[in-house]
Amino acid sequence: MIILMMGAQGTGKGTVAGIISKNTGIEQLSTGDVFRKNIKEKTPLGLEAEKYISSGNLVPDEITIPMVTNYLDSDLAKNGIILDGFPRTLSQAQKLDEILEQRGKKVDLVINLTTPREEIIERIMTRRVCPNCKATYNIKLHPPKVEGICDECGSKIIQRKDDSTEEAVNQRLEIYETKTAPVIEYYKNKGILRTEEVSVRINRLGQQVAEDIVKDLK
């Protein structure tokens, strides 16, 4: 099964994808994590991607698409894959369909998460991640048991560079809304879009959304 996670930064895509992956055995691929790994290791891909990510812009197709294709062809995707962070543009969505069709596959489900903008900004600014095991925390909503320390592996949690200023967050949200609106419509027209609101105002957060999706997949 091929599942796509859609939604602006801070809507909880990683949380929802992680719970679905854990309960179904479908591998999760976060393009953001792959970029950050390459940036840390200063690979050619990472050096190119950092130019765009640090300024709040989308990484171009010529960098992103080959990377995703490599994962689709790897053993990690033999039981399906949950793509978190791809596609983000209509051209990427169309190219993904071409790539999958060549392999006798298709996108089965697109999960679109929505959250009020003011909540997104606050979540991102208070988000912390573990650079070692990739666990995600929020110092207000979901803090670690010991301040500054990951519950899972004991490493020191950090704030991502691209999460640290409201200006960068707003720019990313504006780019997402402009570039991704046609993608949402594209999958809606295909009849495979499932939109879920993740928000404290309706008392429905990522874990509950993910658990409901897992029930429907079983």
184: domain CATH number is: 3.40.50.300
- Answer yes or no: is 64 within a domain: yes
Q: State how far the Cα of 196 lies from the Cα of 155, in Å rounded to an integer.
A: 32
The tokens of 81 are what? 């894959």
Whether 183 is covered by a domain: the verdict is yes
- The reported pLDDT for the residue numbered 85 is 83
Contacts of 188 (CB under 8 A, 6+ apart): none
Residue 22 lies in a domain: yes
Is residue 165 domain-resident? no
- Flag whether 36 is in a domain: yes
CA distance 38 to 218: 35
Domain membership of residue 124 (yes or no) is no
88 is catalytic: yes
Which is catalytic among the residues 88, 123, 128, 134? 88
Identify the domain containing residue 23 by its residue range: 2-115+176-217
Whether residue 103 lies inside any domain: the answer is yes
Average pLDDT, the chain: 88
Is 172 an active-site residue? Answer: yes
How does pLDDT run across 14-52, given as a tens digit for each residue?
A: 889 999 999 999 999 888 777 877 788 888 878 888 888
pTM of the model: 0.78
In a domain, 95, yes or no: yes
DSSP 196: E
How many domains is the chain partitioned into structurally?
Answer: 1
Residue 121 confidence (pLDDT) above 80: yes
